[in-house]
Amino acid sequence: MKSVDRLDMNRKWAMPSWVPMLMLVSAVSGLLIGRCGHAARDKYIVFYNIEVQEATQANIDVTFEAYNRSKVDFEGEGVLIRAYDENGEEIASKITIIDLKSGEKQRYLKVLTKLTKLIKNKDDVASVSVELYHPSLFK
C-alpha cells in the first residue's frame, strides 16, 4: 500500500518577505497613476461664463458652462464650486457631479445651500470659482 503524507492544514505558513513590499509598491504606483489621470482631465474640460444668478440668505444660484475638448466622454466628473466674499473668505462650497460627452458644451445651474457666512444680497458674493475636484489623500 502507498503511504500518502498529507499537509498539515493547521500549520501557519510564513508569508514571503517580498509580498508586503510588492503590495506597498503597487499601492504607491496606483496613487501616482491616478494623479496623472486627474492632471490630464484639467487640460480637456474648460469652465467659462461663471456667474451668480441669484443670492439669498439661504442659498446661492451659480450658472456656468462646461466644454469638453477631448474625444472621450467624461461621466461622473466631480466639480468643486466655491463662492467668496470681498475679503476672499469662502462663503459656500459644494462638490457636484457633471456628465460631458466628447466635444460638447453644456450649461449648468447649481445651488449652494450650506452657507458659512450670512449674506444679505447678490452683491455680497464677490467671486465664484468652478474647478474639477481631485480627491487626494495628501494635501
- Domain ranges in the chain are 18-132
Fold classification of 18-132 is Immunoglobulin-like (2.60.40)
* pLDDT, tens only, 47-70: 999 999 888 888 899 999 999 988
- Determine the pLDDT at residue 124: 84
- Determine the pLDDT at residue 129: 92
Q: State whether residue 52 is helix, strand or coil.
A: strand
Q: Which residues contact 16 (CB under 8 A, 6 or more apart)?
A: none
Nearest one of 108, 137, 134 to 41, comparing CA atoms:
134
* pTM recorded for the entire structure: 0.73
22 DSSP 8-state letter: H
Q: Which residues contact 12 (CB under 8 A, 6 or more apart)?
A: none
- Determine the pLDDT at residue 125: 86
> Which parts of the chain sit beneath pLDDT 50?
none
Q: Can you read off the three cell numbers belonging to residue 127? A: 467671486
- Determine the pLDDT at residue 77: 85
- Determine the pLDDT at residue 123: 81
- Phi/psi of residue 49, nearest 5 degrees: 50, 50
Work out the burial of residue 86: count CB atoms within 10 Å of its CB; fewer than 13 is exposed, 13-18 middle, 19 or more buried: exposed
Q: Can you read off the three cell numbers belonging to residue 110? A: 447649481
